[in-house]
Amino acid sequence: MGTIPSAEELVERLLRASPSYTPEQRETLLSLYAGDADDGDDGSADGTLSELRLYGVAGCNSFGEDFTDFASLQARTSGKGGDAPRDCPDCADRLCGHGGDQQAGHLGLFPSFSMLNHSCLPNAVNFVLAGRMMVFAARRVPQGSEVLINYLGRASLRPVEERQSMLADGYHFACDCPRCGVELLAGCDNSGGGASSGGTAGFGETLQAILERCQQREQILGGLCVPPPSAIPAPVGAPHAGELQGAATRCLEGVRADVQLLESLLARQEAAGAGAGAATLAGLGDPTTGARGSPTGGAPHWLQWLRASAFDLYAQHVTCAEALGLVDEADAALRLLVGVCEAVAPHSDLHMYLAVKQLSLCQARWGPDSERAVEQLRGCAAVLRGRYGAELSDPTVARLLRGAAHGLAQIQL
Residue 126, domain CATH: 2.170.270
Are both 208 and 278 inside the same structural domain? yes
Percent of the chain with pLDDT over 90: 50
Which of 305, 335, 365 finishes a domain? 335
Q: Are residues 145 and 175 both part of a single domain?
A: no
**Tens of pLDDT along 172-183?**
999 999 999 999
CA separation for the pair 306, 42 (Å, rounded) = 47
Q: Is there a single domain that holds both residue 199 and residue 322? A: yes
Query: With 90 as the cut, is the pLDDT of residue 190 above it?
Result: no
**Residue 387 forms part of a structural domain:** yes
CA distance 33 to 55: 9
Mean pLDDT of the chain: 81
Same domain, 101 and 199: no
pLDDT band of 282, cuts 50, 70, 90: very low
Instruction: Let me know whether 180 and 322 are in one domain.
Output: yes
Residue 224 has pLDDT above 90, yes or no: no
Residue where one domain finishes, among candidates 279, 301, 335: 335
If pLDDT is split at 50, 70 and 90, which confidence band does 208 have? very high
State whether 265 and 321 are in the same domain: yes
On whether residue 16 sits in a domain, the answer given is no
Asked whether residue 175 falls in the same domain as residue 125, the answer is no
Above 60 in pLDDT, residue 92?
no
Residues contacting residue 100 through CB under 8 Å, at least 6 positions apart? 83, 84
pTM summary value: 0.82
Q: Which pLDDT value is given to residue 140?
A: 92
Average pLDDT estimate for 29-45: 65
| pLDDT the model gives residue 392 | 92
172 plus 137 within the same structural domain: no
**What integer pLDDT is reported at residue 222 of this predicted model?**
79
260 in the same domain as 172: yes
Domain, as residue range, for 397:
348-413
73 falls within a domain: yes
C-alpha radius of gyration, the chain, whole number: 23
Q: CB under 8 Å, gap of 24 or more: what pairs does 163-168 form?
A: 163/120, 164/189, 167/118
Does one domain contain both 320 and 375?
A: no
pLDDT 10s digits, 109-156: 999 999 999 999 999 999 988 888 999 999 999 999 999 999 999 999
Q: Are 338 and 291 in contact (CB under 8 A)?
A: no
Q: Kind of pairing, strands 117-118 and 148-149?
A: parallel
Structural domains in the chain (count): 3
Helix axes of 274-282 and 301-308: crossing angle, nearest 10 degrees: 100
The residue length of the chain stands at 413
Shared domain for 162 and 263, answered yes or no, is yes
Within 8 A by CB and 6+ apart from 396, the residues are: 75, 79
**Where does a domain end: 335, 358, 377?**
335
At position 32, the amino acid (one-letter code) is L
Query: Is 98 a domain residue?
Result: yes
Burial of 20 (0-12, 13-18, 19+ CB in 10 A): exposed
Distance CA 295, CA 379 (A): 10
Q: What are phi and psi of 134, to 5 degrees?
A: -105, 135
pLDDT digits (tens, 9 = 90+) for 344-400: 999 999 999 999 999 999 999 999 999 999 999 999 999 999 999 999 999 999 999
3-state secondary structure of 413: coil
35 within domain boundaries: no
* Range of lowest pLDDT (50-64, 273-287, 311-325, 360-374): 273-287
Same domain, 108 and 231: no
240 assigned to some structural domain: yes
Residue 272: inside a domain, yes or no? Answer: yes
Dihedral-angle region of residue 260 (phi above 0 means left; psi in -120 to 50 means alpha; beta otherwise): alpha
